[in-house]
Amino acid sequence: MASPSFVGLTNGVFAENCWLVADPEAGEAAVVDPGEEAELFLARLASERWRATAIWLTHAHVDHVAGVARVKEATGAPVFLHPADRPLYDRAPLQAAAFGLTMDPPPPPDAELAEGQSVRVGRFGFEVLHLPGHAPGHVAFVGHDVALAGDVLFAGSIGRTDLPGGDTQTLLDSIRSKLYRLPDATRVLPGHGPETTIGEEKRSNPFVRLTPGINACLKCGAEVRPKPWGCRNPCANCGFSYPLGDCSD
């Protein structure tokens, strides 16, 4: 079965990961979070002979949008952004100045992203998950056993919440209620650092670890609230009912 190609390009002073998501047969690619080194992304598109058909933004922090203007200028690809991050997006040059950097003002977004929406590159579709906490309009793009997760979940860590619009409890809820519902084998392609999997982070991430029999279902691993032994109400994710469940009593 055909599957998309994923190319990670680490760039800039923040070591941000821009991802190219491509349908090689169609020669089309989405550019996810084009950071500072726009020419690097454009050169890789050219070397692969892929045409950029979309710019997908997980969120609008400066390290993820610094190259949007140049990539849009060079390719004409439409920009997709969740509206809750539009204020951050419009202030991206001010964000850059706070770090001693300069950047061109990004062009207005062409399309809004929303929870449950499907976005496509060539033959391949991805579902949009709204995952606030790191930024109000943060999203992930999920499909084909991959989650392009931006700055929500990293290998052994989570996104920072001390920037405007950040909230720690909201971020943890986003991870546990949405990302952790994905299969354990799902590859997580993050905005910084190496890739990981949902299962690995459930087991070992010190910020959002789930322990079966303590705060996770013994069958599917989804988070449940610990309840007294003998509770028979089912896990909200898979329906498993013993010995833990998301009980309301």
pLDDT tens readout for residues 41-71 = 999 999 999 999 999 999 999 999 999 999 9
Mean pLDDT of the chain: 92
Selection from 107, 18, 7 nearest residue 49 by Cα: 7
What pLDDT, on a 0 to 100 scale, did the predictor assign at position 230? Answer: 44
- Report pLDDT for 226: 62
Q: What does the block give as tokens for 91?
A: 């202030």
- Summarize pLDDT for 85-112 with one digit per residue, the tens: 999 999 999 999 999 999 999 999 999 9
pLDDT at 212: 72
How large is the average pLDDT for residues 175-200? 97
Rounded CA-CA distance 4/148 in Å is 13
Q: Would you say 164 and 149 are in contact if contact means Cβ atoms under 8 Å apart?
A: no
**pLDDT in the model for residue 220:** 72
What pLDDT does residue 158 have? Answer: 98
Q: Quick one: pLDDT at residue 228?
A: 46
Lookup: tokens for 222: 């989804």
Q: How confident is the model at residue 79 (pLDDT cuts 50, 70, 90)?
A: very high
Domains in the chain, please, with CATH? 5-204 (3.60.15.10), 214-249 (no CATH)
The structure's pTM equals 0.89
Least confident of 22-36, 142-156, 185-199, 221-235: 221-235
What pLDDT shows up at residue 219? 74
Is the pLDDT score of 27 beyond 90? yes
155-180: average pLDDT: 96
Structure tokens at 212: 């079966």
pLDDT of residue 213: 66
Whether 85 contacts 135, CB under 8 Å: yes
What's residue 245's pLDDT? 44
pLDDT band at 216 (very low <50, low <70, confident <90, very high): confident
Kindly indicate the confidence band of residue 224, based on its pLDDT and cuts at 50, 70 and 90: confident
Specify the pLDDT at position 246: 47
Residues 29, 124 contacting (CB under 8 angstroms)? no
Structure tokens belonging to residue 239: 């329906």
For the CA atoms of 66, 69, 72, 74, what is the dihedral angle to 10 degrees?
Answer: -100
- Determine the Cα–Cα distance for residues 231 and 9; give it in Å rounded to an integer: 48
Rounded to an integer, what distance in angstroms lies between the CA atom of residue 158 and that of residue 130? Answer: 16
What is the predicted pLDDT for the residue at 249? 45
Name all contacts of 84-89 with Cβ < 8 Å and 24+ positions apart.
84/132, 84/135, 84/136, 84/137, 85/57, 85/59, 85/60, 85/135, 85/136, 85/137, 85/138, 86/60, 86/137, 88/59, 88/60, 88/61, 88/135, 88/136, 88/137, 88/164, 88/165, 89/57, 89/60, 89/65
**d(C-alpha 41, C-alpha 32), whole Å:** 10
Q: Which amino acid is at 64?
A: H
Segment 151-168 shows an average pLDDT of: 96
